[in-house]
Copies of this chain bind each other. A is one copy, B any other.
């Protein structure tokens, strides 16, 4: 018997029980005749005590051979602690040790296995199995497991069927970011790993599965920005005979359920905002609505007053930072520096202080009278004591810059609170996106996204203005999920392909089997996919998805623990019908 109890289980009621515990030696204090050992497992820490004279010699001897992270099993009696530790649930008791068995020795670990560790990122990744031993890290993966369970139970209760779609699928010409997998049985041919199960879930709707979901690994072979992984996990969902609000209501329900059951947070109804409104009010399709500071367009009041910069601008836009009129020169300079950073890219920043005495002080006093500035302030809802910040230029660029500035100010002013969660549906994205490089339209989501019915007529006249029946779920400025109602009729699909510049033959080559399937009675359907790694990170209060993945890869796509990817031998490549390219 390796244990009768876990290290997190014993309480004052267990006093006098004879128990066996197993775990890792976390800490040893040896004060001459008295010894204490903290024994740790997944469930907690229990203190062991040994005393010369009282504890059997053999146990004392073994205890003195122990080092950090040794694995031991211990027999003894539960006794009440003299000085209790109210920080841990087992803190009222300790084990009076009778017998110790070393199950395994340990080398000294390369970093301290506690919540506060001395190990740097690289070292912890190389020894990820030791990093995972830290409670803080393990709890993140426990949270992930719990969340997956909550998602599955919620969706199963709503008649969703989880279906496993294939991992070895077909490589398509446009799959530039596909991982490909050579086949030994079919030398010279390749499978691809799915970037998402999109086509399969649509096929399942054609099959009449009605409500599908899957928590599923997806793959993308691309340069990894800070917080991307080559393999990532989606909560992938699709529903038949639904319109947009059916999908939104269902997954709003799921999200509310998760927040309530996992975090105890009531989210209430999720607002729904047009993409166009999000862009004009926040300059972003994923606005952080934990705080206001909405954009105010000032063209009509700021132009034609002789300030060339504004006069030539397509857009003059401001935000109002509450109670910031007292910002110092240095603080204002720092803001100007911020917007001038290459990542933001503005040429300069105009400020207007709404002084508490009712006067205004701006960086453009030369061009604008107190009266002018008062009009601005009224338009922006700025009151005495507030600070207005104004940017100008081409509409899209300026909005992006102002979005950065708004988020920056929100952070500076402590308005982006970690423990506050503000969800938002952003709906009616543009259907098509003009690509300067190829000089043609691309599908903003994918070519099966349905246009809004009322916009279909515009496909021929003003394709850039056509809105898609597509939606994103945004929480605290982070895109958590996105999806759309799909096209299910041939006529609209053909129109769509035409506008994407596909000949019918090209469309057939790329989407053949899905188009074939659609000939046999495709129902109206739509769906959504959530980034599960990111959702977990948000629930855990972290910005990094990597913490929520048991064995993540680094930004070069390498697993430094197992040292992968690696070379394979030529015999193996031979069998696959491939060879390395010589340089």
Contacts and interface: CB of A to CB of B under 8 A. Distances in A.
Nearest to A222: B184
Interface stretch (A248-256, A292-300, A397-405, A562-570): A562-570
Contacts of A219: 167-168
30 contacts: A2-B242, A2-B243, A2-B524, A69-B520, A70-B521, A71-B521, A71-B522, A73-B241, A103-B523, A104-B518, A104-B524, A106-B520, A129-B204, A130-B207, A133-B208, A149-B152, A149-B162, A165-B551, A166-B559, A168-B231, A168-B559, A171-B568, A173-B569, A181-B181, A185-B221, A185-B223, A190-B565, A204-B550, A217-B217, A578-B579
A270 interface: no
B186 A568 contact: no
B138 A207 contact: yes
B181 A180 contact: yes
B129 A41 contact: no
B564 A191 contact: yes
Interface string A62-105: 00000001110100000000000000000000000000000111
A145 B162 contact: yes
A352 to B, nearest CB: 48
Contacts of A519: 106-107
Contacts of A153: 149, 153
Contacts of A209: 42, 132, 138, 141
A156 interface: yes
A170 interface: yes
Nearest to A69: B521
A552 to B, nearest CB: 8
Interface in A503-523: 513, 517-523
A163 B190 contact: no
B148 A162 contact: yes
B572 A581 contact: no
B210 A42 contact: yes
Interface in A1-37: 2-3, 6, 22-24
A141 B169 contact: no
B233 A164 contact: yes
Contacts of A70: 521
A142 interface: yes
Contacts of A224: 185
Interface string A536-575: 0000000000000111010011110111111111001110
Ordered nearest first, which 3 A-B pairs have the shortest CB separation? A106-B521, A132-B207, A170-B564
A385 interface: no
A206 B42 CA distance: 11
A469 to B, nearest CB: 14
A24 to B, nearest CB: 6
A219 B181 CA distance: 11
Contacts of A520: 69, 106-107, 109, 127, 129-130
A286 interface: no
Residue from A192, A522, A524, A580 with most neighbouring chain B CB atoms (10 Å): A580
B521 A42 contact: no
A230 interface: yes
Contact of A210 (B41, B152, B572): B41
B567 A190 contact: yes
B562 A170 contact: yes
Contacts of A189: 565-567
B42 A208 contact: yes
Contacts of A522: 71, 104
Contacts of A149: 152-153, 156, 162
Given A210-B43, A489-B104, A578 B581 contact: yes
A577 interface: yes
A488 interface: yes
A170 B562 CA distance: 7
Contacts of A105: 521
Residue from A129, A142, A576 with most neighbouring chain B CB atoms (10 Å): A129
B43 A183 contact: no
Nearest to A22: B241
B567 A574 contact: no
A272 to B, nearest CB: 19
A345 interface: no
Residue from A190, A524, A576 with most neighbouring chain B CB atoms (10 Å): A190
A179 interface: yes
A431 interface: no
B176 A572 contact: yes
A566 B170 contact: yes
A550 B578 CA distance: 30
A194 to B, nearest CB: 11
Interface string A130-168: 101100001001101100110011001000011111111
Residue from A69, A73, A564, A578 with most neighbouring chain B CB atoms (10 Å): A564
A400 to B, nearest CB: 28
A562 B513 contact: yes
Given A176-B572, A221-B184, A567-B190, A208 B138 contact: yes
A462 to B, nearest CB: 28
Contact of A2 (B181, B241, B574): B241
Residue from A176, A206, A517, A521 with most neighbouring chain B CB atoms (10 Å): A521
